[in-house]
A and B are shown apart, each in its own frame.
Chain A
Amino acid sequence: MSYQLAVNGRIHRIDEDGQTPLLWVLRDTLHLTGTKYGCGIAQCGACTVHVDGQPMRSCSLPLEAVAGSQIVTIEAVAGPEADAVRAAWVKRDVPQCGFCQSGQIMSAVALLRVKREPRDDDIDHAMSGNICRCATYNRIRAAIHDAARTPSSGKTTA
């Protein structure tokens, strides 16, 4: 069956089974390989994308459920929060192996859009579904605090 999918501001026609996980459509059909396959069972968060502004695990999201939604991946996430997170990630040199980081960043951006000044436990709860096997959690938390302190990061984006 054919579906229309809005990804990163572009409309794509996707001819796949409706039960295909969005992750496979992004990676194999649209070649947006920044979103990673980690566990495939929504336990690690490596495949996090934004669907209508909400962070979601694309490995656990059927194609037919997101036709008509606005999907944003790590390749196109933008706005003051994304800029602040990107700068903080570079400054703190957060990634180690880096595999989980696109999911971490997508969750961090979504967190800052909901909570302008998250406390440690806000960060721990919001990011608890994003696992890092290199255990960069302390740097992730510090970078989110840095990003929250960036003057422009608190402004709401579309």
Chain B
Amino acid sequence: MSRWRGPGSTTPRRRRFRIGCLPLLGVIVAAVVLIAAIALRSRPLPQPERIAAAPQSSEVARLRSAASFASIGDPEARSLALFAEAGRVIMHSRCMNCHPRTDRPMQTDAMRPHIPLVSRGPDGGGDPTLRCSTCHHSANFEASGVPGNPKWKLAPIEMAWQGKSLGEICRQMLDPARSHMDRAALLHHMAEDELVGWAWHPGGSRTPAPGTQAEFGALIKAWLDSGARCPA
């Protein structure tokens, strides 16, 4: 607690330490110069981080050749084995995403609903007010990562595959009422259709379907030739 000192007090006043303006200004200027020197000192610019290219899983996801099934003597067992191998392509997200059971396509390897919200529309190419071609064009576009193909559209709802077993898909494929294809057209669709072929060249970081379209087509041909048996 400080004591009040009246006019008659004999207690000597303590001298206060005084600093003049100029030294204070000098200190401030020195501090500013120091900060500026630190901030403006020459430093190496940050370099862009190098990110390794995404591994191409097509190199590891191979298909067995149709010829390799010739050793199975029983035609029914061979046909079932051929279709099971082809099923690795049929059930792949590159194919399933465009065979949705609703009007909304899926996307990504995780098969999540397409963003933005789009609908198949009257021809599978989107609603008249939001066509697939709003974003998807005739080829994959590297700059934006948006995939594309001249025939980009959904499979008809009668060809919905999602949520079905491989056996159910098999029977559906062989039913012209639902697939709209006879067996020759089915083979052409699988082996030569360019939109189906996109599944092996999806661009970006998308996982391609296993093997090649030619290997897949050979499996489908061998399966049809062996009686086109369907799994249960």
A13 within 8 A of B: no
Whether A129 lies near B137 (C-beta < 8 A) is: no
Report the stretch among B10-18, B126-134, B159-167, B184-192 that lies at the interface: B126-134
Q: Which residues of A contact B119 (CB under 8 A)?
A: 125
Whether B129 lies near A115 (C-beta < 8 A) is: yes
Q: Which residues of A contact B138 (CB under 8 A)?
A: 65
Whether B128 lies near A114 (C-beta < 8 A) is: yes
Q: From known contacts A19-B142, A41-B145, infer whether A60 and B130 are also in contact, taking CB-CB under 8 Å.
A: no
A126 within 8 A of B: yes
Whether B127 lies near A126 (C-beta < 8 A) is: yes
User: Size class of A's contact patch?
Assistant: 20 to 34
Whether B135 lies near A42 (C-beta < 8 A) is: yes
Distance between A149 CB and nearest chain B CB, rounded to angstroms: 18
Q: Which residues of A contact B131 (CB under 8 A)?
A: 54
Nearest CB in chain A to that of B121: its residue: A125
A-B contact count (CB 8 A): 71
Could you list which residues of chain A lie within 8 angstroms of chain B, going by C-beta atoms?
19-21, 40-43, 45, 54-57, 59-62, 65, 110-111, 114-115, 118, 122, 124-126, 128-129, 131
Whether B133 lies near A54 (C-beta < 8 A) is: yes
> Of residues A21, A60, A65, which shows the largest number of chain B Cβ atoms within 10 Å of its Cβ?
A60
Q: Which residues of A contact B143 (CB under 8 A)?
A: 19-21, 40, 59-60, 62
Q: From known contacts A21-B143, A40-B144, A41-B146, infer whether A60 and B129 are also in contact, taking CB-CB under 8 Å.
A: no
Whether B117 lies near A60 (C-beta < 8 A) is: no
Whether A122 lies near B129 (C-beta < 8 A) is: yes
Within 8 A of A (CB), among B88-118: 115-118
Q: Which residues of B contact A19 (CB under 8 A)?
A: 141-143
Bound CA span A21–B144, Å: 8
Q: Which residues of A contact B142 (CB under 8 A)?
A: 19
